[in-house]
Amino acid sequence: MGRPAYWQRANRGALARERRCAIPFLYELKQSLVATTGVYEPTLHVIIGLMIFLAALAAWRSPCIALLIVLAVQCLNELNDFYVKDHPPMTLVAQSIEDTGYTMALPLLIGCCLLAFGRLKAQK
């Protein structure tokens, strides 16, 4: 059952934010993980990015596919942050680039090493 029409007219902005936020609980989950574990948010990005990369690498056995999966999950996370946070867009862009760098740092390093060693093995 929906909300009454008078409430919808009075709260158009709130309804628009509710509709466009595809995964509202994701931001709250991230903040609760930061609060309960005491880990800083950039460190949480590194840990979760590495966990997703290792899981995707184990499932698909391809560093390229695993890197693409980590990047896709990170982009979804940043889109969700963009809709949840009420900051000016340019500060969110800078913060999104920083968060993506933190998330992709270790998976990119490991993925490049795996690709390089795979090519060295293939040449022998």
Q: What is the 3-state secondary structure (H, E, C) of the chain?
A: CCCCHHHHHHCHHHHHHHHHCCCHHHHHHHHHHHHHHCCCHHHHHHHHHHHHHHHHHHHHCCHHHHHHHHHHHHHHHHHHHHHHCCCCHHHHHHHHHHHHHHHHHHHHHHHHHHHHHHHHHHHC
Q: What single letter denotes the amino acid at residue 58?
A: A
Band of the pLDDT at 30, cuts 50, 70, 90? Answer: confident
Q: How far apart are CA 88 and CA 14, in angstroms?
A: 18
pLDDT the model gives residue 82: 82
Dist. CA 50–CA 118, nearest whole Å: 20
Placement of tokens 């949480």 in the chain:
44
pTM over the 0.85 mark: no
Residue 15 pLDDT greater than 60, yes or no = no
Residue 32 has pLDDT above 60, yes or no: yes
> Residue 120: is it exposed, middle or buried by C-beta count within 10 angstroms (0-12/13-18/19+)?
exposed
